[in-house]
Structures are given as structure tokens and as C-alpha cells.
Amino acid sequence: CHLVHYLRLSHHLIVLNYLIGTFDKLKSVSSEHVTITDAVFDGVEVRVFEPPAKQDETLKRAVVYIHGGGWALASARTSLYNNLCRIMAESLNAVVVSVEYRLVPEVCFPEQFHDALRATKHFLHPDVLAEYSVDPSRVAISGDSAGGNLAAAVCQQLSKEEHMTVRPKLQALIYPVLQAFDFNTPSYQQNMNMPVLPRYVMINYWIDYFNGNYDLAHSLVINNHTALDVSPALSFRGRLNWTSLLPSSFKKDYKPVVQTTGTAEIVQKLPALLDVRAVPLLAENDVLQRQPKTYVLTCENDVLRDDGVMYAKRLENAGVEVTLDHFDDCFHGCMIFTIWPTDFSAGVQTRNSYIKWLDENL
């Protein structure tokens, strides 16, 4: 894919998504247990999973799900996410709305955020909830990885909109990516070369999301964009101090990487690095106080482990009820790998724990 990009034949992410689609052609296939339909919510494509109505039941629960893939890959229609959402609908007897937001390079930030927000707000409209026989007081918003980023950002935005009559009861974030402020947290240092999501790949996803230049990657790796002399970053430093937000078992012997002199031009070129719609971990405390009951799943073998742990701690400090579900032997992305040939025990373990929490709290 990088060769394709270098030769300017196409964007390498377009090619990679094409390959994913070629090997994973899946149509909307309903069954006696779940009806699957494709729809458009306020201009955004979605896939809706509906379990059959029960005779003694009036209204169902619901989950708005936002898939991962670095804001650039995968789809609500791939077999991995189709399988996850179908199992969620069956296990929870809930309506699941899987959001098919537009991807890099077709669009960049903030369009993915806008797509997820529009689709969610459309679904939360009382008339739409009634159409799908959903209880307005029992709706969750959830997502994994980049989808967890979008879910957290959407929840924060909904909490600011006073006219909203229906709000999510819960948010459930699966190994979410929540900040681009510090690429040297203990988990970034510990797992910098971990397969599936090495540090350089995550940084490139951020650059693609912000429509930036890969030449900035090295400066980002060493935190030049948040050095002490980069004035736009100073006000955010206290909101992402991992030395106080992480338990000692995660901090180990790692040391903070804080440059005295940095490169302020990076933030000028990529202002979204400090935009809370892209980096929800940097939100103010008064916004965090308004967030719903929260579940955060993290994996030890993941550069993003500390993003989730720090967000859980900040929410807890703000008075939000939080469940941090940490897995010592699991890796980034594992929850969707539950079908052959990638049917991993880590995937089943994390998926079951996630669905169990939703079932008990939604």
C-alpha cells in the first residue's frame, strides 16, 4: 500500500479498504433472530439490527455503535462488525444502529465527527425511537478504537446541547483513542512496536485524520508539538498528566517526555491536535461532569491503554460512575476477532464482558 501511495496510483488507504472489501463481501442478511436493514439517518448511512418483537414487550433497548479503523478503514458492513452488532442485538434484545461514517481520505476531521453526531441525533429524536420501538431512557452510545473516539466526542457534544430531549443513558468505549497530546505515555512506550497498532501507525492515522503531512511524524513522536514553549498546549497540560492519572502498576519506571523547546508550527498546521472534538481526553471538567455512566475497556498490549485509563480516571474525578474493564492478556482490536479464521479467545473474552456490562446497566 505504501508503494501504491508513493507511485501516486491512488491513496494507500483507498487501496487497503478495497482489498478489505474484496476479501469480505457481505450483504445485508437477515435471519429469524435479527432483521438487518440499511437506512440513511440525516444524510448518513447506517445499518440497523432489529430483534423480533416479543409478545409481552413494548419497548426495546438500543445501542448506537461506531466502528473502528483509524477513521480510515473498515465498515459497518464488513463481516467482523456485522457479526458483532448482530450478536449484540441478539444478546441484549436491543436495536443496534451501526454508523457508516465517511472515511479518510474521502473526508478528514471534523467530517467523521459530524457524521457520527448527525446519525446519533437523528436516532435520538423521539419520533425515530418510536418508529423502532425503542425506550428513550435506555439508549447507549458505543464504539471501538477510532469509533470509541467518535462515541466519546459525540457524548460530550450531546451533553452541551440544551435542546436535546433524549440523551444516552450510557457510553461504552472499547480501547478508545482519545488524545494526540502525548505519544510517550507508558503504554505508548511499552507497546511502541506491538503488532496490530504500533506507535508509528497510530501517529500516521492521526496525521491522515487531520489531513497533515507525514513529515510531521518524527516531531509528534518526541512530543515537540506540546513542548513547554508551545503556548497553545500549556492550558491542556494539567488535563493529561499521566503521572497523576495512572496507577503505579501502569506507570512502572517510565518517565514523562516533555520537551523544553518544541515546534509551535505543528499546532498551527494541525490545530485539531488540541480540538476536544478530536481529542476528548482534553475536555474541561464541567463537560466531563455531564457525561453518562461509562464503561471503558482497555488491553495491556495496546499503545492506547493509557488513553482509556486516563479518561476513566478523569470521569471518575468529575463524579461520573465508571467501570474500567482491563485485560492483561489482550491486544488492540481483539474484540472483533471472533469468527474464523481470526476467532481468538481474547475476542470472545472481551466481547462477552462488554455485552454483560451493557446487559446489566442498559
**CA torsion, ordered 122, 126, 127, 130, to nearest 10 deg:** 110
3-state DSSP assignment of residue 343: coil
CA distance 81 to 338: 10
Catalytic residue among 145, 159, 306, 325: 145
Let me know if 135 is a catalytic residue: no
Nearest to 254 by CA among 189, 328, 182, 326: 189
Strands 134-144 and 60-66: parallel
**Which member of 302, 306, 307, 325 is catalytic?**
302
145 is catalytic: yes
Cell numbers standing for residue 304: 492506547
- Burial profile 213-243: b = 16 or more Cβ within 10 angstroms, e = fewer: eeebbebbbebbbbbeebeebeebeebbebe
| DSSP per position, 276-322 | TTT-GGG--HHHHTTPPEEEEEEEEE-TTHHHHHHHHHHHHHTT--E
Residue 56 annotated as catalytic = no
Residue 207 neighbours by CB distance under 10 Å: 19
**Is the CB of residue 48 less than 8 Å from the CB of residue 128?**
no
Q: Which residues of 20-49 are buried (b: 16+ CB within 10 A; e: fewer)?
A: eeeeeeeeeeeeeebebeebebeebbbbbb
Q: Where are the alpha helices (DSSP H) in 36-110?
A: 79-92
Catalytic machinery residues: 145, 302, 332
